[in-house]
């Protein structure tokens, strides 16, 4: 597989062994999770990061700090999403500015397109000279749709396991993009358990933190928002948190920018979870290194209803390294925040993004009047319009 000059291998986060990019799944030595590592001395910061070439567009403009060069990418111009001013929200929160990093503009309407683009690029590279099919993953919804789209781009067969409560739009589009869908009764954990039960053959996993590339793609969110702010870090960034994938990726992006001396400080990163399913936030509050599984998950935000997050320990480690925080919010606040953003900014914010906005409301009294705040909108409101509309109906609208 062709890799970038800076990429130095996949390092096991458990035993420290380093493997090449051809390694799929966990560490061959101990089955621990792998992470891409880099020799940053091979990066020309000004040419490769600050003054990126105009082509390719989107996240692949940062290919110098990704494992694979843009010329090998499986892409549909993901990334390059805007920062949208939310002046009215800034006024109501009593801060200097609020910007929304609007990931609903990605090809399938979700921030997860970034990681799936990178992960399927790796799968396509593995497919050269070997049979990696089928690809497979379990997902709450958005990742299944995204994986099906990118797998279809390179004609790779994909099985997506989704819970029965997955949004209809996700289920429909998995099939429309050419993926094979397995609907599993219950919730996300049931779908995840069903893969090995129902797939008799070996498969190439696109599961978060089984592939080392999904959270790696997410780090470009942080790089883009910093670039759009002329490499000046905001004061606070609110990140909706479920599996831990987004939180780990965003923190990695900020840490990379600091390592390259592009920013003087890492912003305050706040993980936001619904109060009905908050294993990472609860563990952070208790000072634990590993979340305890949430016994009775109960939130309307299906993307964030992850009771036993695969990346829980790594998310907590990321928060600890940078002195980040975690907060929980009620479903009512999440939906109200999402609807308010939709009504006042044009941005089509989904419930996932509504969690970020609700988190900002929850901590408004702790934000300085000169604070510059960024909210991560993780998904398009058009994916779950019934959820947002039902919130209005509950208020008699």
pLDDT, one tens digit per residue, over 51-89 is 998 889 999 999 999 999 999 999 999 999 999 999 999
- The boundaries of the domain holding residue 106 are 83-110+213-394
More confident residue, 395 or 118: 118
In sequence order, what are the residues at sequence separation of 6 or more whose Cβ sits closer than 8 angstroms to the Cβ of residue 55? none
* pTM, entire model: 0.97
Task: Give pLDDT, residue 133.
Answer: 82
- Could you read off the pLDDT of 190-213 as tens digits, one per residue? 999 999 889 878 899 999 999 999
More confident residue, 123 or 132: 123
> What's the total number of domains in the chain?
1
Question: Is the model's pLDDT at 25 over the cut of 90?
Answer: no
In this structure, is residue 23 part of a structural domain? no
Task: Give pLDDT, residue 117.
Answer: 98
- Averaged over 96-108, what is the pLDDT? 98
- Averaged over 133-150, what is the pLDDT? 96
Instruction: Please report, in angstroms and rounded to a whole number, the separation of the first and last CA atoms in the chain.
Output: 55
- The position carrying tokens 């929850």 is 362
Judge contact between 333 and 376, C-beta under 8 A. no
In this structure, is residue 326 part of a structural domain? yes
Mean pLDDT score across all residues of the chain: 95
Q: For residue 222, give the CATH number of its domain.
A: 3.40.50.1100
Task: Give pLDDT, residue 150.
Answer: 98
Question: Is the model's pLDDT at 170 over the cut of 80?
Answer: yes
In this structure, is residue 377 part of a structural domain? yes
Q: What percent of the chain has pLDDT over 90?
A: 91
> What does the block give as tokens for 308?
């036993």
Task: Give pLDDT, residue 162.
Answer: 98
In this structure, is residue 330 part of a structural domain? yes
Residue 12: left if φ>0, alpha if ψ -120 to 50, beta else—which one? beta
Work out the pLDDT band at 395, boundaries 50, 70, 90: confident
In this structure, is residue 69 part of a structural domain? no
- Could you read off the pLDDT of 226-263 as tens digits, one per residue? 999 999 999 999 999 999 999 999 999 999 999 999 99
For residues 105-136, b (16+ Cβ closer than 10 Å) or e, as one string?
Answer: bbbbbbbbbbbbbbbbbbbbbbbeeeebbbbb
In sequence order, what are the residues at sequence separation of 6 or more whose Cβ sits closer than 8 angstroms to the Cβ of residue 118? 66, 67, 68, 213, 214, 216, 217
Q: How far is residue 223's CA from residue 254's CA, in Å, rounded to a whole number?
A: 7
Q: How many CB atoms lie within 10 A of CB 264?
A: 9
- Averaged over 169-188, what is the pLDDT? 96
Task: Give pLDDT, residue 168.
Answer: 95
- Could you read off the pLDDT of 318-354 as tens digits, one per residue? 999 999 999 999 999 999 999 999 999 999 999 999 9
Question: Is the model's pLDDT at 299 over the cut of 80?
Answer: yes
DSSP symbols for 35-101: EEEE-GGG--IIIIIIT--SSS-GGGGGGGGSSS-GGG---SS---PPEEE-HHHHHHHTSSEEEEE
Q: Are strands 372-377 and 97-102 parallel, antiparallel or unpaired?
A: parallel
Question: Is the model's pLDDT at 129 over the cut of 70?
Answer: no
- Averaged over 283-294, what is the pLDDT? 97
Question: Is the model's pLDDT at 290 over the cut of 90?
Answer: yes
Question: Is the model's pLDDT at 131 over the cut of 80?
Answer: no
Task: Give pLDDT, residue 285.
Answer: 97
DSSP symbols for 118-185: HHHHHHHHHHTTS--PPEEEE-SSHHHHHHHHHHHHTT--EEEEEETTS-HHHHHHHHHTT-EEEEES
Q: Mapping DSSP to helix (H, G, I), strand (E, B) and coil, where does residue 248 land?
A: helix
């Amino acid at each position: 597989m062709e890799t970038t000059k800076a990429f130095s291998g996949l390092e096991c986060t458990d035993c420290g062994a380093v493997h090449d990019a051809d390694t799929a799944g966990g560490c061959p030595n101990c089955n621990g999770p792998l992470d891409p590592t880099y020799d940053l001395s091979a990066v020309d910061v000004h040419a490769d990061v600050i003054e990126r070439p105009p082509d390719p567009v989107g996240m692949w403009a940062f290919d110098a700090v990704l494992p694979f060069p843009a010329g090998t990418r499986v892409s549909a111009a993901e990334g390059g999403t805007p920062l949208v001013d939310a002046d009215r929200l800034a006024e109501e929160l009593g801060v200097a500015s609020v910007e929304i990093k609007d990931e609903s503009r990605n090809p399938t309407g979700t921030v997860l397109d970034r990681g799936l683009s990178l992960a399927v690029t790796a799968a396509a590279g593995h497919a050269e000279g070997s049979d990696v099919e089928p690809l497979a993953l379990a997902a709450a919804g958005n990742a299944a749709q995204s994986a099906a789209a990118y797998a279809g781009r390179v004609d790779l067969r994909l099985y997506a396991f989704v819970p029965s409560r997955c949004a209809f739009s996700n289920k429909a589009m998995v099939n429309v993009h050419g993926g094979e869908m397995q609907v599993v009764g219950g919730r996300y954990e049931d779908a995840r358990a069903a893969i090995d039960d129902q797939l008799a053959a070996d498969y190439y996993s696109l599961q978060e933190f089984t592939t080392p590339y999904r959270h790696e793609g997410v780090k470009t969110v942080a790089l883009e928002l910093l670039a759009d702010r002329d490499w000046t870090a905001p004061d606070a960034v609110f990140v909706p948190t479920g599996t831990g994938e987004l939180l780990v990726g965003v923190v990695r992006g900020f840490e990379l920018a600091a390592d390259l001396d592009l920013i003087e400080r890492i912003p305050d990163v706040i993980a936001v979870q619904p109060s009905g399913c908050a294993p990472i936030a609860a563990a952070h509050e208790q000072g634990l290194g590993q979340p305890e599984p949430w016994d009775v998950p109960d939130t309307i935000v299906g993307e964030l209803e992850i009771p036993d997050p695969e990346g829980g320990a790594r998310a907590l480690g990321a928060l600890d390294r940078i002195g980040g925080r975690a907060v929980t919010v009620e479903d009512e606040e999440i939906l109200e925040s999402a609807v308010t953003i939709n009504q006042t900014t044009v941005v089509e914010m989904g419930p996932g993004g509504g969690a970020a906005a609700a988190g900002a409301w929850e901590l408004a009294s702790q934000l300085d009047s000169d604070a510059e705040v960024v909210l991560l909108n993780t998904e398009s409101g058009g994916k779950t319009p019934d959820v947002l509309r039902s919130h209005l109906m509950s208020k008699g609208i």
